[in-house]
Amino acid sequence: MCGTDSPASINKGSLTSANGNGTRSPTCSSDRVLNLEQGDPSVFQSYWSKMEDKCTMVISGSQLMSYISDFTTLCWFMEPEFQEAVRRLHRVVGNAVVDDRYIVVGTGSTQLYQAALYALTSPGGPEPVSIVSAAPYYSAYPEETDYLRSRLYKWAGDAYEFDKNGTGPYIEVVNSPNNPDGTLREAVVKNRGDEGKLIHDLAYYWPQYTPIIRPADHDIMTFTFSKSTGHAGSRIGWAVVKDKEIARKMSKFIEMSTLGVSKDSQQRAAKIMGVICDGYKNFKSDELFFEHTRRVMAERWERLRQVVDRNQVFSLPKYPKQYCLFSGELIEPYPGFAWLEAKEEEEEIDSQKVLRGCIKVQGRTGSRFGVAQKYVRVSLLSNEEVFNQFLERLSTIKSISNGH
Amino acid sequence: MCGTDSPASINKGSLTSANGNGTRSPTCSSDRVLNLEQGDPSVFQSYWSKMEDKCTMVISGSQLMSYISDFTTLCWFMEPEFQEAVRRLHRVVGNAVVDDRYIVVGTGSTQLYQAALYALTSPGGPEPVSIVSAAPYYSAYPEETDYLRSRLYKWAGDAYEFDKNGTGPYIEVVNSPNNPDGTLREAVVKNRGDEGKLIHDLAYYWPQYTPIIRPADHDIMTFTFSKSTGHAGSRIGWAVVKDKEIARKMSKFIEMSTLGVSKDSQQRAAKIMGVICDGYKNFKSDELFFEHTRRVMAERWERLRQVVDRNQVFSLPKYPKQYCLFSGELIEPYPGFAWLEAKEEEEEIDSQKVLRGCIKVQGRTGSRFGVAQKYVRVSLLSNEEVFNQFLERLSTIKSISNGH
């Protein structure tokens, strides 16, 4: 029961306040809001803490100073070591075809999404191209598509709706496994001849989140360091691209947008990917990266499902077991987010408000993902202390209707 | 005389080809093209080589993993250490007012230019706002303004022309010292009431390039790590902003564009700026950064002017000496680029083609900067070997008209 709690005012700083020592660390006292709105991948930090020595990056004052990495290549600001590490990682994991494909580095997959829109639509026609994705879609797509009011493209919402009633040229973004709901997806819009193009956002197509059902082999696939290894602060993403001209245009976009991508972070990503791959080559680590992180995610999901089943207020998606080529086992998906749906019959229930008001947990409302506000997305990628607090608080909700 | 040389085909890779050891190093054999088109700041590398120990950046595998630096601040992805270092550096140099100003970090000043356009024009009206800059203007502005065909803003060319004939809301970009011609500038468009807004691009307003004539104090000022210390590969820039709402919108732009800025590079920039400032505090360095780099630039300009004066084919701008608050002396500007103007009377002379065809030096034509092609911009920021080769080759040109 939580009827007496009034929704606290939003305090985004609750998890990153400075303590007396001048360092920033999470705090979890019961009167503070748990910010689980973003998918900040702190869960993987403990693994990397144990690997310190192997992964330490050292850069002297005179290294990596030039804009240019290799002017003879299409993506001239990409460090060769980074490209090599990306190809090697995909070969080890088997989640994407990289032979005879172009790699383009970006400042996170956020920039690569926009680079792909530019590459597929420029120089542009009289009308902007419609950009669609099946609801519930990643909440950042609409804003990232429309903030500059481009004449090249415009956000057109739910791909199912566009399939029924939309017309004209379009790009469908296929996010698989999907953020927020964790489902493995395929394109939705059908039978449009050559009017449609696809971008596959595969940020979460890694063994800690999902069975690897096949090596993905699409025209444009984007990945990110943030979700693969947990290093969000480095802002590194990459695209695997079939067509040379598309890869060239994506590189050109990044040149015009940011004149390249941090070399410091590219080198750090190459190093960390290399440590992961070396682990699989030598089998010397106590626990290999994807095995460790999959185990942590599996434990979190098991505990989460117990709490959700017990209090009967929300439901979670059920995922089928599928054969994972990476592990060689039939396994379940363990998405990075809990996609909670209120069980009450009323469609108007605002689950974000319920979580916020009743247990001071900040999630993100379903309406941001193009569906009803009875859904709310909650990050499962926090550190252990915050995750434990979340479960503890969630277990105290016994009824939504008493909650507001 | 170079009449017998035929223009070689463009080979952008000429300076970054792989050698037998698998490392990339510049090569300067006389049949290779010297690429001096970009302003890659290799000239400062030798200084940083001598400072190795002090500037070495060490990042363990578990550090800097979060998206978030400090959610209580407006620019939540900015590392507090970076912000502190930026303010300290400006206070040491005296080139900008930073007290009671907001700092916004960006992926180079390229991204901050676009963030400023967004902040000053969104949500936007029926017509795009005109973006102007006095010719010769930085060659990247037109492309960076127009590549997404935004309805918020559009490139409208030369500010002098707009002052005479342009109408409606506008933003003038004041680049001072100006790239390509090195002049200290003020706004050109006058008497428009509140229709106009300003962005000051102060990438080169540092003591190695120009006298610091006053602490700059404009509404939006952008700076970059690339040109201040020479670390272009880190893609770090910052804006100093008076108005809170503008700073907030610029941060929002960077959030939507790249979801923050590499923390690895922010921390590296903080460290290197700290080493520079410590030098001025302790006076222990053999030679302090700005004194060293100013001396190198002064020597290059002296040698360049000798060659240019001797062969009487091109002319260079003359810059007045001005009192520099930083050095306490009357000094000349030493811009990062040579802005060469062909002395021949014909306006149609293509100086880029002359340099390319006669001496295999790749510059950038004046037409890219909105002026006649008798002008060509050549980078003076290359490493010593390339700069020496450039002067050697330039000294062989005796006549343009025989050159094509």
Contact predicate A233/B67, CB 8 Å: yes
Phi first, then psi, for residue A91 (nearest 5°) are -70, -40
**What is the number of H-type helices and E-type strands within chain B?**
12, 16
Token couple for B249: 């919108």
What are the tens digits of pLDDT across the range B204-215?
Answer: 999 999 999 999
What are the tens digits of pLDDT across the range B62-82?
Answer: 999 999 999 999 999 999 999
Token couple for A336: 């990075």
Phi first, then psi, for residue A39 (nearest 5°) are -95, 50
Beta-carbon count within 10 A of B306 CB: 12
Contact predicate B257/B236, CB 8 Å: no
A44·B60 Cβ contact <8 A = no
Task: Decide if domain A34-50+287-395 falls under CATH 3.90.1150.10.
Answer: yes
B233·A260 Cβ contact <8 A = yes
B61·A275 Cβ contact <8 A = yes
A64: left (phi over 0), alpha (psi -120 to 50) or beta: left
A232·B66 Cβ contact <8 A = yes
Which of B61, B71, B256 has its CB closest to that of A56?
Answer: B61
Bridge partners, residue B197, by sequence: B171
Contact predicate A101/A86, CB 8 Å: no
Positive or negative torsion for Cα A352, A358, A359, A360:
positive
Spatial neighbors of B160 by CB under 8 A, at least 6 apart, are: B134, B135, B188
Half-sphere exposure of residue B118: CA atoms within 13 angstroms, side-chain side: 25
A10/B contact by beta carbon, under 8 A: no
Please choose, from the candidates A156, A139, A155, the residue with its C-alpha nearest in 3D space to the C-alpha of residue A147.
A155
Say if strands A34-35 and A361-362 run parallel, antiparallel, or are unpaired.
parallel
Model confidence at B344, pLDDT cuts 50, 70, 90, reads confident
Half-sphere exposure of residue A290: CA atoms within 13 angstroms, side-chain side: 26
Token couple for B45: 């590398």
Spatial neighbors of A357 by CB under 8 A, at least 6 apart, are: A2, A5, A6, A7, A403, A404
Token couple for B337: 């680029």
Model confidence at B239, pLDDT cuts 50, 70, 90, reads very high
What are the tens digits of pLDDT across the range B171-195?
Answer: 999 999 999 999 999 999 998 888 9
From chain A residues 45-104, the ones with a CB under 8 A of any chain B CB are 45-46, 48-49, 51-52, 54-62, 64-68, 70-72, 76
Residue A287: what pLDDT?
Answer: 84
A151/B contact by beta carbon, under 8 A: yes
A322: left (phi over 0), alpha (psi -120 to 50) or beta: beta
Residue spans of the domains in chain B: they are 34-50+287-395, 69-281
Angle at B240 between CA B238 and CA B246, to 5 degrees: 105
A25/B contact by beta carbon, under 8 A: no
From chain B residues 204-233, the ones with a CB under 8 A of any chain A CB are 226, 230-233
What are the tens digits of pLDDT across the range A121-172?
Answer: 999 999 999 999 999 999 999 999 999 999 999 999 999 999 999 999 999 9
CA distances from A223 to A83, A104, A231, A238 (A): 13, 10, 13, 5
B265 vs A contacts (CB less than 8 Å): 262, 264-265
**pLDDT for residue B286 is more than 90:** no
**pLDDT for residue B218 is more than 50:** yes
Mean pLDDT score across all residues of chain B: 91
Query: Of residues B61 and B25, which shows the higher confidence score?
Result: B61
**pLDDT for residue B290 is more than 80:** yes
Residue B401: what pLDDT?
Answer: 64
Which of A57, A233, A263 has its CB closest to that of B234?
Answer: A263
B262·A107 Cβ contact <8 A = yes
* Amino acid code (one letter) for B140: A
Token couple for B152: 């918020």
How much is the ipTM here? 0.93
Name the 3-class secondary structure at B272: helix
Closest residue in B to A126 (Cα–Cα): B149
B262·A114 Cβ contact <8 A = no
Token couple for A306: 């117990």
From chain A residues 125-144, the ones with a CB under 8 A of any chain B CB are 140, 143-144
Bridge partners, residue B318, by sequence: none
What are the tens digits of pLDDT across the range A287-341?
Answer: 899 999 999 999 999 999 999 999 899 999 999 999 999 999 999 999 999 999 9
Model confidence at B6, pLDDT cuts 50, 70, 90, reads very low
Residue A261: what pLDDT?
Answer: 98
Q: What is the block-wise mean pLDDT of chain A (404 residues), using blocks of 10 residues? A: 30 32 43 93 96 92 97 97 98 98 98 98 96 98 98 98 97 98 97 92 98 98 98 98 98 98 98 96 83 97 97 95 97 98 86 96 98 97 97 91 50
B105-133 average pLDDT score: 97
User: For chain A, what's the residue count?
Assistant: 404
A190 burial via Cβ count (<10 Å: 0-12, 13-18, 19+): exposed
Which of A15, A107, A272 has its CB closest to that of B107?
Answer: A107
Interface test with A, best of B49, B59, B82 (most A CBs within 10 A): B59
Closest residue in A to B236 (Cα–Cα): A262
B382-397 average pLDDT score: 97
Task: Decide if domain A69-281 falls under CATH 3.60.70.12.
Answer: no
Spatial neighbors of A80 by CB under 8 A, at least 6 apart, are: A69, A70
Mean pLDDT score across all residues of chain A: 91
Q: Tell me the three-class secondary structure of chain A, residue by residue.
A: CCCCCCCCCCCHHHHCCECCCCCECCCCCCCCCEECCCCCCHHHHHHHHHCHHHHCEEECCCCCCCCCCCCCCCCCCCCHHHHHHHHHHHHHHCCECCCCCEEEEECHHHHHHHHHHHHHHCCCCCCCEEEEECCCCCCHHHHHHHCCCECCEEEEEEHHHHHHHCCCCEEEEEECCCCCCCCCCCCCCCCCCCCEEEEEECCCCCCCCCCCCCCECCCEEEEEHHHHCCCHHHCCEEEEECCHHHHHHHHHHHHHHHCCCCHHHHHHHHHHHHHHHHHHHHCCCCCCHHHHHHHHHHHHHHHHHHHHHHHCCEECCCCCCEEECCCCEEECCCCCEEEEEECCCCCCCCHHHHHHHHHCEECEEHHHHCCCCCEEEEECCCCHHHHHHHHHHHCCCCCCHHHC
Distance from CA of B110 to the nearest CA of A (A): 5
Which of A49, A260, A275 has its CB closest to that of B62?
Answer: A49
A230 vs B contacts (CB less than 8 Å): 65
A62·B45 Cβ contact <8 A = yes
